[in-house]
Amino acid sequence: MISSQQASPARCAAVGVASTAAAGSLVAWLLPIALAPGAGTFDTALVRLCAALAVVAAGWLWLASVATVLAARRGRAPHAGVPAPLRRAVLAACGVALTGGLVAGPAGATPGRLHEDRVARPAASAVAGLPLPDRATAAPTVRVVPGDTLWAIAARTLGPGATDAEIDACWRRLYDLNRAAIGPDPDLIHPAQRLEVLP
């Protein structure tokens, strides 16, 4: 929505004249190319087609600019069919301040007393009785390097003071934890594979 202050007539007129002059100059340059007589090659036909399309685009831009200038002068929101970047540029050139959206109407206030439509209730009662979600915890992982085995990963995880029995129990737990990723053979793990380890 445009602010209640209307754009000055002088600025709107200047923007309108500038857009008309720019569009007129562009059309005067491109129209002779688009309407050039005589048969030609494919390249010539393509240049003429592009020039004709540019004339149409210049005319459309001119119409959109003039419509936006007129809307700014009247203090109304520009037509919704005008692209937003063009609306912003023309309105800024006209010196119009924007408030809210360009096509939105005024916001209505709540009838009655302030916040009469809201029922006050304690925050705790709003969630009373609802189950609390489980805390998301990410399991630590290890990246398999070339030459790794579950035994070696278990030994690294437990540290240098671990006994063979502890390492044996640990690699079996690692395999059980990662059976879906490893598959049926615990001796077959692949480099760059990520495996969960026990904390």
pLDDT score for 186: 86
Which amino acid is residue 169, in one-letter code? A
pLDDT at 1: 42
pLDDT tens for residues 126-185?
666 666 665 556 678 889 999 899 999 999 988 899 999 999 999 999 999 999 988 898
Q: In the chain, what are the domain boundaries?
A: 9-94, 141-196
- CA atoms of 187 and 165, how far apart (whole Å): 18
Indicate the SS3 state at residue 98.
strand
- At 162, list the tokens: 């671990």
| Percent of all residues in the chain with a pLDDT value above 70, rounded to a whole number | 71
Q: What stretches of 21-104 adopt beta strand conformation (E)?
A: none
How many other C-beta atoms can be found within 10 angstroms of the C-beta atom of residue 36?
A: 12
Percent of the chain at pLDDT > 90 equals: 12
| Maximum C-alpha span of the chain | 96
